[in-house]
Amino acid sequence: MGFLKWPFKDKRNQQMEQDLDQLKIVPDHVAIIMDGNGRWANKRGLPRFAGHKEGMDNIKRIVKLANGYGIKVLTLYAFSTENWKRPKQEVDYLMMLPKEFLDTYLPELIEENVQIKTIGHFEDLPKHTKQAVQHAIDRTQDNTGLILNIALNYGSRSELVETVKSITADVKANHISVEDINEAMISDRLFTARLPEPDLLIRTSGEIRLSNFLLWQLAYTEFWFTDVHWPAFNEKEFKQALLAYQQRKRRYGGLEA
């Protein structure tokens, strides 16, 4: 399925237009832990690689929907620092997926005005993965639509450790004092420094945990979990998550007005 074209033309687009009317409150930043590719494949008697491939194709579909709903940032947990523990053959395949995805869909992402960013320890990725991602970042840097923020080789604990090291080095060099350290300083040194904190976290496949994902940034984020595996996470599921978010009362520790 190719990217839908805007403005709305067919019946499906007309339905999305009605859905947009229902979603009067849309999160600026949605983060998704894309879980269940392997389980989706196993359930169908397919190899795990088939699940990863279908999960990759689903990214395109969800990016299109997010863009249509007016979401500003979509952060996808694509590969964690812990995923290196998986069998080498699977890791090698996962490291090829960003190139395959971008080789296939980058023209459509550019047409949709999507800007691509990445968070994580980029320098430790294989050369071919870095080249493909950097090419996409460079090609879309002037786009002004949805930010597709891909978490590659990302782990929140290691992110926080590097932030502590950075601040400590500045204290030792007398660039800042201990008294200068505050929440804003920490946030400004994270991978997500130039992005708003997530309003909504979605995790697929029935797991109810954060798995070392955006631990600092998710402090006041609304969570939504589903048993649906990521390759099967579709427009209906995504809309349910957004409608559920719309019903939440976000008080940030205060009292409701």
**Per-residue confidence in pLDDT tens, the chain, 257 aa:** 333 333 333 555 555 555 555 667 899 999 999 999 999 999 999 999 999 999 999 999 999 999 999 999 999 999 999 999 999 999 999 999 999 999 999 999 999 999 999 999 999 999 999 999 999 999 999 999 999 999 999 999 999 999 999 999 999 999 999 999 999 999 999 999 999 999 999 999 999 999 999 999 999 999 999 999 999 999 999 999 999 999 887 766 665 65
Residue whose pair of structure tokens reads 């459509």 in the numeric block: 108
What is the b/e burial string over 65-85, where b = at least 16 CB atoms within 10 angstroms of the residue's CB?
bbbbbebbbbbbbbbbbebee
Three-point CA angle 6, 9, 13, nearest 5°: 75
Its CATH architecture, for the domain 25-154+198-204+223-246, is 3-Layer(aba) Sandwich (3.40)
Cα 1 from Cα 253, distance rounded (Å): 43
Q: How many CA atoms lie within 13 A of 167 on its CB side?
A: 20
What tokens does 152 get? 């590659």
CA-to-CA dists, residue 186 to 165, 180, 200, 236, angstroms:
11, 11, 21, 37
CB atoms within 10 A of CB 244: 14
Integer Cα distance of 3 and 36 in angstroms = 24
What is d(CA 128, CA 174) in angstroms, rounded to the nearest whole number?
A: 40
β-strands 73-80, 147-154 pairing: parallel
Question: What is the domain partition of the chain in residue ranges?
Answer: 25-154+198-204+223-246, 156-195
Residues assigned a catalytic role: 35, 83
Residue 228's nearest CA partner among 202, 207, 209, 205 is 205
